[in-house]
């Protein structure tokens, strides 16, 4: 016995030489087929071994034909011709070489497709649409991967639409290799379609009426996972909860899906403070307080206080929102704004930068009270962008008083004495009762440099003396911004706005010594006048200098094209072209142009923006620096 074992060991050692490595050459296929063939071949796996016995390599070579046939079937090739040759190394230390040549032959094609639905979903439009988009119609090459993916998609689609008991009564592919044809047969029984039942909110601090309002799913509505996602998002977007979990509870006996809300209310109060600085505004700061719910009904209050260095401007605003109707995004609103600033009544020639006469410094005060309705519209369905709609009535009391400052220069006094009609513009009080509507679409994603999308705003406003307003006017405005990323380094920014006002203007001729100026002043309250020029509008020009003697105009037209290139992780270089103006006469708009380059650094407090711009229509002026950090004033 021991002698036999010794002889066997000697024979094995002498007859089975060891190979240091093997190299596999495959011809005749490429792409995904080649990848799949290599994944199936034992010879390929042997390439990664340090050494392989020669008898094991020959066994791999014998198995190769079956492995290749198996690898080609998912691509519809059932009758390939395969040649496998294993060459021993010419001398010790050289690798073995496996040479494989494949002729896939003609692919198997689909001859017949039979897809049948049974159960409640046999007429379901979504399932029928899936069948219409079946990826392997008659005459196409049989692709098993596409077949597997398609029937799994059907199964997922059915469950997402409430067919929780769905099953395949038949699902098969019959292949005739000799004829090179295949038949696909699927018989899918959807079973009953479940419907939404009741919802339950254990231990809620909010009133049942509010929770009914926040539940957008109707009882007995056919189940869909999209509607369930919409319900979750609706609860999240209320801002009332720090955690939202909506659990499904299926009742097989009644074929219903009840919902269990597990909600964690957020703290009722939140506070915020932001600060910034810019060449247009100087330093600025904002304080905010939001009361997310004043009671169990979900009514809320949002207030803020802002101040900025330029013009010593102060703003206090507050808005109360009261739930209305049965929709979660429908509110009645009551708001107020108080604003005070040091402002100037200016005298500028639109073709020159310097003032013709000294400006009159005065205090401008505004008090505005508004009532209205706020709601959210989704014209493009659940997954589309949301449009915020505000419709309301506002009362504005606005005053400007240059006399109270008692700071007239000698030229101011001389100009007023020579042109006494100016007094009516230096001390004014206007009451305006206006009806208006505003629509805002905010459809963005990402943050920092990678923020992209669209922000569009449209509004209309009108007032008339017959209903108690001191002035009559009608105004329409449309503006928007569009940001688009290309690759991971390029960004294109487009911005534009157009506004038109039907309002009366007054023209006066001023003169002092040898200086003369024709002054056009709109009757619009300053709150509704258009102004442009500066960091965020037409760069290369001073803050609001393109605004009819810097006092604001009836109309506005601006556009901007900007390109950003991301150089580092959070900073970019930019080049831009701006054009626009604000004016009183539409046929005398005289658009101004600016061009420049800039730097952006994206931080947690917002982008730090530095621009150097040249006013193309004031070429005798130096380049202007525009610098901004943080958000705007309230």
pLDDT for res 477: 98
Chain-centroid distance of CA 131 in Å reads 32
Residue 218 has pLDDT above 70, yes or no: yes
**Smallest Cα–Cα separation from 463: which of 395, 559, 401?**
395
CATH architecture of residue range(s) 109-189 = Roll (3.10)
Q: What does the angle CA 96 – CA 101 – CA 103 come to, to the nearest 5 degrees? A: 165
pLDDT for res 5: 43
pLDDT for res 381: 57
Phi-psi region of 350 (alpha: psi -120 to 50; beta: other; left: phi over 0): alpha
Reply yes or no on domain 269-629 having CATH 2.40.37.10: no
Chain segment 306-332, per-residue pLDDT in tens: 999 988 999 999 999 999 988 888 999
Instruction: Give percent of the chain above pLDDT 90.
Output: 67
Centre a 10 Å sphere on the Cβ of residue 416 and count the other Cβ atoms it contains.
Answer: 18
Chain segment 595-608, per-residue pLDDT in tens: 999 999 998 877 89
**Smallest Cα–Cα separation from 340: which of 318, 311, 373?**
311
Chain segment 231-276, per-residue pLDDT in tens: 999 999 999 999 999 999 999 999 999 999 999 999 999 999 988 8
First and final C-alpha spacing in the chain: 99
pLDDT-derived band at 280, boundaries 50, 70, 90 = confident
CATH for the 19-103 domain, from 3.30.70.920, 3.10.20.310, 3.40.50.620, 3.40.50.11720: 3.10.20.310
Structure pTM?
A: 0.79
Query: What are the extents of the domains in the chain?
Result: 19-103, 109-189, 195-265, 269-629
Please give the DSSP secondary-structure letter assigned to residue 355.
B
**Token couple for 533:** 């020029």
**DSSP per residue over 531-584, as a string?**
---STTSSTTS-TT-SBTTTT-BSEEEEEEEEEEEE-SSSEEEEEEEEEEEEES
Instruction: Say how many CA atoms lie within 13 Å of 78 toward its Cβ.
Output: 16
Chain segment 558-613, per-residue pLDDT in tens: 999 999 999 988 999 999 999 999 999 998 888 999 999 999 999 887 789 999 99
φ/ψ of residue 281, rounded to 5: -115, -15
pLDDT for res 278: 87
Instruction: Give percent of the chain above pLDDT 70.
Output: 94
pLDDT for res 7: 39
Most confident of 15-24, 84-93, 218-227: 218-227
Answer whether 109-189 and 269-629 agree in fold. no
φ/ψ of residue 214, rounded to 5: -85, -10
pLDDT for res 15: 40
Strands 282-291 and 300-308: antiparallel
- In the CATH hierarchy, which top-level class contains the domain 195-265? alpha beta
Once rounded to an integer, what is the mean pLDDT over residues 93-98? 85
pLDDT for res 348: 78
Chain-centroid distance of CA 450 in Å reads 10
pLDDT for res 195: 97
């Amino acid at each position: 016995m021991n002698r036999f074992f010794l002889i066997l060991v000697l024979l094995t050692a002498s007859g089975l030489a060891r190979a240091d490595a093997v190299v596999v050459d495959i011809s005749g296929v490429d792409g995904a087929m080649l990848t799949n063939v290599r994944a199936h071949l034992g010879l390929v796996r042997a390439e990664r071994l340090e050494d392989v016995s020669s008898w094991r390599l020959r066994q791999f070579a014998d198995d190769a034909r079956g492995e290749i046939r198996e690898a080609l079937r998912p691509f519809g090739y059932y009758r390939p011709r395969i040649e496998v040759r294993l060459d021993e190394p010419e001398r010790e230390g050289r690798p073995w070489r496996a040479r494989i040549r494949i002729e896939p032959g003609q692919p198997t094609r689909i001859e017949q497709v039979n897809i049948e639905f049974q159960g409640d979903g046999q007429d379901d439009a979504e399932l029928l649409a899936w069948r219409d988009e079946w990826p392997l119609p008659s005459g196409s090459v049989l692709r098993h991967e596409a077949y597997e993916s398609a029937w799994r998609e059907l199964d997922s689609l059915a469950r997402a639409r409430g067919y929780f008991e769905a099953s395949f009564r038949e699902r098969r592919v019959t292949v005739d290799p000799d004829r090179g044809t295949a038949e696909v047969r699927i018989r899918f029984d959807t079973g009953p379609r479940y419907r939404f039942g009741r919802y339950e909110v254990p231990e809620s601090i909010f009133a049942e009426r509010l929770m009914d309002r926040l539940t957008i799913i109707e009882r007995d509505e056919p189940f869909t996972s999209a509607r369930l996602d919409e319900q979750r998002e609706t609860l999240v977007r209320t801002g009332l909860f720090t955690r939202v979990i909506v659990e499904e509870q299926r009742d097989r006996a009644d074929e219903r899906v009840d919902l269990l809300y597990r909600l964690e209310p957020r703290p009722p109060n939140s506070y915020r403070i932001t600060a910034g600085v810019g060449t247009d505004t100087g330093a600025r700061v904002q304080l905010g307080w939001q009361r997310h719910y004043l009671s169990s009904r979900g009514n809320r209050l949002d207030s803020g206080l802002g101040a900025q260095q330029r013009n010593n401007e102060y703003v206090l605003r507050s808005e109360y929102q009261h739930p209305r109707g049965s929709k979660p995004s429908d509110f009645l609103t009551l708001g107020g704004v108080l604003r005070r600033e040091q402002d100037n009544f200016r005298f500028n020639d639109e073709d020159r930068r310097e003032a013709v006469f000294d400006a009159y410094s005065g205090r401008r005060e505004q008090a505005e009270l508004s009532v209205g309705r706020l709601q959210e519209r989704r014209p493009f369905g659940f997954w589309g962008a949301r449009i915020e709609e505000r419709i309301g009535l506002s009362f504005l009391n606005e005053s400007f008083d240059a006399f109270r400052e008692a700071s007239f220069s000698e030229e101011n006094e001389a100009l007023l004495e020579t042109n006494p009609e100016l007094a009516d513009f230096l001390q004014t009080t206007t009451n305006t009762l206006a009806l208006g509507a505003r629509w805002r679409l905010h459809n963005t994603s990402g943050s920092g440099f990678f923020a992209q999308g669209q922000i569009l705003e449209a509004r209309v406003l009108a007032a008339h003396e017959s209903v108690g307003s001191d002035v009559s006017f009608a105004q329409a405005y449309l503006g928007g911004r569009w940001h688009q990323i290309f690759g991971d380094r390029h960004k294109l920014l487009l911005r534009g706005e157009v506004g038109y006002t039907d309002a009366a203007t007054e023209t006066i001729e001023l003169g002092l010594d040898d200086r003369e100026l024709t002054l056009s002043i709109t009757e619009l309250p300053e709150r509704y006048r258009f102004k442009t020029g500066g960091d965020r509008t037409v760069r290369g020009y001073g803050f609001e200098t393109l605004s009819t003697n810097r006092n604001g105009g009836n109309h506005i037209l601006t556009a901007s094209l900007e390109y950003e290139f991301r150089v580092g992780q959070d900073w970019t270089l930019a080049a831009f072209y701006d054009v626009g103006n604000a004016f009183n006469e539409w046929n005398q708009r005289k658009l101004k142009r600016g061009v420049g380059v800039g730097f952006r650094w994206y931080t947690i407090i917002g982008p730090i923006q530095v621009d150097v711009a040249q006013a193309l229509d004031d070429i005798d002026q130096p380049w202007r620096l525009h610098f901004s950090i943080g958000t705007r004033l309230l």
